[in-house]
Structure 1
Amino acid sequence: MESLDAEGWARLFNSCRESAWHLEMRDHYAVAEERADIEKWRAGEWGPEEDAASKAGWLDLMRATAARGVELRRARIVSEPVTEYIRFEHEGTPQNIAAGEDVRWLPRTRASGLALPGNDCWIFDSSTVLFNHFTGDGGWVGNELSKDPQVAEVCVKAFESVWKLGIPHSEYTLI
């Protein structure tokens, strides 16, 4: 298992030619770099400008990737009522969309019949999968890269099934 740094993420996106899709299935993430942001958000000291500044490097990477014609899609499976973290994430999603991502939300109750991978993942050009591993309480563990065609096929099918049922961000109301 490895942990990609900013250069590793940039290499993956820069080598991508057609599509980069992200499947998120957790209701809570507790990654260290977001702790201060969430505290400011809880205190009412957080808005679109702060969110965009906090993830500026990511948003720049998404803009550059989208500008090359790469399709960027993010599908999030969430329990309802949503967690505090999902509220925070939902509020920051317009910045992702402005940078070129298309985002959909799928209530977990509508995902019961879907076959899903065991971990969140990024799927690049339908052939490379980067799994993101977390602890039970949402802490970051690391990444696992797979170029196995069978693994990619499972993840592509899972993502597409979630995407088909997902609700576009502009239409999804938090419960």
Structure 2
Amino acid sequence: MKRFGLVIIMIFCLGGIATAQTESFAIEDVDSIMQTKQKPILILLSTDWCKYCQMQKNQLAKNKDFQKQADNFYYIIFNAESKDSIVFNQKTFQYKATGLSSGIHELAIALNGSENIGFPTWVLLDSKYQVLFRYNGVLKPLEIKELLKAIEESR
């Protein structure tokens, strides 16, 4: 019986250590979810090979402010090298090869505002798909707070 009590105590203690995960929506689902409920759209343009992108995702998973505000916007992680055709804001975007084994998605270029793109890149859109904020690089905790404040003000 003592073991059972110890196990229960450990579960409660360790449960407090776990962090909530903010749900990331697929970019190809944005048009349909925006029809259900319009919110600002926060997009992280990243790639599979980008270590800074992975670091930023991990930071956000642990950021309490980000977790608390997650219901106020749609959070999208978009692989800028995706080869899928994507309909976004009622337009179709394709993968654009730039070499034998390299390329970038036209949607990443459109969201970035130019073909000169670095990773990670943050893009905040309002509910009408207008760009409110663009930032190339890793957001620091204070910058994340400022971004969340901008999201709150855009609602």
> Is the shorter-chain TM-score for this pair beyond 0.5, marking a shared fold?
no
TM-score by length of 1: 0.29
TM-score by length of 2: 0.32
- Does 1 or 2 have the higher relative contact order (CA < 8 Å, sep 6+)? 1
Larger Rg: 2
